[in-house]
Amino acid sequence: MSTYDLNDPTDLDIMRARFNMISADEWQAYVELAEERSIGYKNVNILKTALRKAGIAKYLSPKVINWVLSLVDRLDSDEEEEE
């Protein structure tokens, strides 16, 4: 899991690029996975926000992007552990 410095412009660019690389279909899969695993109402809602903003990270705050990317990392790591 990556940790980002929200005050570093380079880290912000990396976060936005990672966010923009995830397609709307992939966001939908993450939302469904999060609902299936019951990871919490707020977490599911922020993933739905990411789905609506797929490909346009400039409209989300760095804190939100960091939160969403950490959820994606968490869901991916949980998926790998199950296999």
In a domain, 47, yes or no: yes
Number of domains observed in the structure of the chain: 1
For residue 80, is pLDDT > 80? no
In a domain, 3, yes or no: no
In a domain, 4, yes or no: no
Backbone angles phi and psi of 22, in degrees to 5: -85, 125
**Contact present, 62 and 6 (Cβ < 8 Å):** yes
Q: Name the pTM for this structure.
A: 0.89
Distances (CA, A) of 72 to 19, 47, 54: 10, 9, 13
pLDDT band for position 1 (cuts 50, 70, 90): low
In a domain, 2, yes or no: no
**Contact present, 63 and 6 (Cβ < 8 Å):** yes
In a domain, 41, yes or no: yes
- CA 69, 71, 72, 78 torsion-angle sign: positive
Range of the domain at 19: 9-82
In a domain, 70, yes or no: yes
DSSP 58: G
pLDDT band for position 83 (cuts 50, 70, 90): low
pLDDT tens track for 26-75: 999 999 999 999 999 999 999 999 999 999 999 999 999 999 999 999 99
In a domain, 71, yes or no: yes
Average pLDDT over residues 4-23: 94
